[in-house]
A and B are shown apart, each in its own frame.
Chain A
Amino acid sequence: MTKKIIFCIILFYILILIQTSFSVYFKVLDLIPNLVLIAVVFITLFTPQQWWGVSAALIGGFYLDIFSLSNIGFFGFYTLVLLLFSFLSKIILQKYVRIPLFKRI
């Protein structure tokens, strides 16, 4: 588990640096893709264990808070939003969505 979290920390650090420095030059439909957000959503939705999504939301949100200017000026805004998303999406997926990916053997 520790190894996976360290992997997450490094992965998101690389993604946020690419997002704020490199991908600025490559707009898609006049928008810069939020790589960290995409990664958090992907991990939350496609990993069966909840701690994966929570860790990704915590790490990704923390980096977004550091490297971006929040609209409401509150440090922690992105972390809290992503965490809420992570918890809520897991609840919705477990309660209301039945797809083979989440079926326990």
Chain B
Amino acid sequence: MRMFRNLKIIVFLILLIGVFVVLNLSGFTKNIKNFFYSVSSPIQKTLWQAGKNTSDFFSGIIEIKTLKKELDSLYTKNQELLGEIVVLKELKKENETLKEALDIELQKDFQLKIAQLIGKDISQDSILLDKGQKDGILKGMPVVTSQKMLLGRIGEVYDNFSEVILISNKQSSFDAKISEKEIFGVVRGKGNQELYLDLIPKEKEVSKEDLVITAALGGIFPQGLLVGKIKDVRKTDIEPFQTAEIEPEFNLKNLDYLFIITDF
């Protein structure tokens, strides 16, 4: 009797594996996912907003003491920044004149499509956007924030939705360089919103707070997008290259709308 029952379980599991293999090979899973995302997206948007509001409310209460200290330091910093703004405004004017002269504008470099963030994957290194194949989104397109900070690239595309593989995903790696130093390396994801710069030549001097930007070498991302800043540098005598921890510049908690670069 028990033998018969175990046999039934094994047959059931084999049948189920067969069904999943057929679903995966036929690509029907995309339709199933798209259907569920379409039905769930209004609820997910509401829950996303509710989560954000609740989190803001509680973090406000918890951090009320530190907020006062921060306020004082920010006031001082603000004064310093005001001074810097005056200098930067002058530089901006100069820059605009130069741009006009060279006929280079950012919108001419990139064609952007705005999308709303509606869900986050449990593995924490992919997110879901409300734009898909019907909006002209294709696999591999870079995704940036409004401040042109690199977030990731489009992974799976559905009719009305698309998944973004964040740069911190373990599957992600791309060429990057350290701004103003011409030091090249490969940025690799570590998972859990952490990433590091690998294959940095040993003789190059990398320091904390250095900004990491995308390089044109790999062709995956347009060059000059901000990736993050160096948090920690690791150098050993045994290894031929040095590595550096990168602190990503994006914070998923504060993101609502993102931009997909459709052409670069």
Contact = CB atoms under 8 A, between A and B. Distances in A.
Q: Do A and B bind each other?
A: yes
A22 B51 contact: yes
Q: Among A21, A67, A80, which residue has the most Cβ atoms of chain B within 10 A?
A: A21
Given A30-B192, A69-B123, A75 B23 contact: yes
Contacts of A84: 13
Contacts of A79: 16, 20
B51 A20 contact: no
A69 B126 contact: yes
A80 B20 contact: yes
Nearest to B128: A20
B121 A76 contact: no
A25 B44 CA distance: 13
Interface in B222-240: none
A75 B20 contact: yes
Contacts of B44: 17, 20-21
A17 B36 CA distance: 11
Interface in B11-70: 13, 16-17, 19-20, 23-24, 29, 32-33, 36, 40, 43-45, 47-48, 50-52, 54-55
Interface string B91-133: 0000000000000000000000000001111111010100000
B17 A17 contact: no
Contact of A24 (B13, B23, B120, B155): B120
A32 B13 contact: no
A64 B33 CA distance: 11
Q: What's the interface size class on A, roughly? A: 20 to 34
A63 B48 CA distance: 18
Interface string A11-52: 000000111111111100011101000000000000000000
Q: What's the interface size class on B, roughly? A: 35 or more
B9 interface: yes
Tell me the dominant secondary structure on chain B's binding face: helix
Contacts of A71: 123, 170
Contacts of B50: 22
Given A75-B23, A79-B20, A83-B13, A22 B48 contact: yes
Interface in A64-105: 64, 66-69, 71, 74-76, 79-80, 83-84, 87
A85 to B, nearest CB: 12
Nearest to A19: B122
Contacts of B183: none
A75 to B, nearest CB: 4
Contacts of B52: 25
A66 B39 CA distance: 12
Contacts of B20: 74-76, 79-80
Given A22-B47, A83-B13, 4 more contacts: A17-B44, A69-B121, A74-B24, A76-B16
List the 4 closest pairs (A to B, CB-CB), nearest first: A76-B20, A25-B55, A21-B47, A22-B51
